[in-house]
């Protein structure tokens, strides 16, 4: 069967990302994607290697989009301001793309170079932003883990409606990032 004219891998990934954001990752199936695109499910196999392949492509796309959001937000700034911009961009990405964000959380299977490279790109960027804090190589990696945990926890709680009090979420996030910065500022290596 030849590929349908106008249907390509990028079109499939973008449509699947829309489905994920609108209905959740659990609803992204080859059948639901085919229905969204007005094609039959078998025609998708010309572009993706089954549902697992589609989800990997979505994860790579999600990581690339997250990286772009964080780098744009912190372009031209350094230090505390860059950490704030990057952190707020991370949470905003999760707000705007809850389904796609979910795909960014999976650890890549060994040998999945596209997913490994997309994850490494984000890690390298965050390490670059944190490099001015004098944490040393190992300290920077611990700081990345901490920052990711903080930002993911905040985003996950918000996306699930876990913040019911009538307080400004932007202020809460800003204070949380300030607390992280204060913590790593005390951990400089000698």
Residue 5 and residue 161: Cα distance in Å, rounded? 42
Q: Tell me: pLDDT of 31 over 70.
A: yes
Least confident interval from 11-15, 18-22, 73-77, 183-187: 183-187
Residue 166 C-beta-side C-alpha neighbours within 13 Å: 0
Q: What is the pTM (predicted TM-score) of this model?
A: 0.90
Question: Over the stretch 53-104, which tens digit does the pLDDT of each residue have?
Answer: 999 999 999 999 999 999 999 999 999 999 999 999 999 999 999 999 999 9
pLDDT of 189 reads 64
The predicted model gives 28-47 an average pLDDT of: 93
How large a percentage of the chain has pLDDT more than 70? Answer: 96
The overall average pLDDT reported for the chain is: 92
Q: Which residues of 98-128 are buried (b: 16+ CB within 10 A; e: fewer)?
A: bbbbbbbebebeeebeebeebbebbeebbee
Residue 41 and residue 20: Cα distance in Å, rounded? 17
How large a percentage of the chain has pLDDT more than 90? Answer: 84
Q: Tell me: pLDDT of 6 over 80.
A: no
Q: How confident is the model at residue 190 (pLDDT cuts 50, 70, 90)?
A: very low
Q: Tell me: pLDDT of 3 over 50.
A: no
């Amino acid at each position: 069967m030849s590929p349908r004219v106008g249907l390509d891998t990028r079109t499939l990934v973008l449509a699947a990302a829309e489905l994920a954001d609108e209905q959740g990752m659990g609803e992204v199936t080859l059948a639901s994607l085919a229905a969204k695109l007005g094609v039959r499910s078998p025609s998708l196999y010309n572009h993706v290697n089954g549902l697992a392949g589609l989800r990997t492509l979505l994860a790579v796309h999600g990581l690339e989009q997250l990286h772009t959001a964080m780098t744009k937000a912190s372009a031209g700034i350094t230090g505390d301001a860059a950490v704030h911009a990057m952190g707020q961009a991370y949470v905003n990405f999760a707000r705007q793309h809850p389904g796609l964000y979910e795909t960014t959380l999976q650890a890549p299977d060994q040998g999945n170079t596209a997913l490994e490279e997309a994850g490494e790109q984000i890690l390298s960027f965050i390490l670059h932003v944190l490099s001015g804090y004098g944490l040393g190589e190992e300290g920077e990696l611990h700081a990345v883990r901490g920052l990711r945990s903080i930002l993911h926890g905040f985003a996950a709680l918000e996306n699930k409606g876990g913040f019911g009090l009538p307080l400004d979420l932007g202020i809460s996030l800003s204070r949380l990032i300030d607390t992280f910065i204060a913590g790593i500022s005390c951990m400089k290596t000698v």
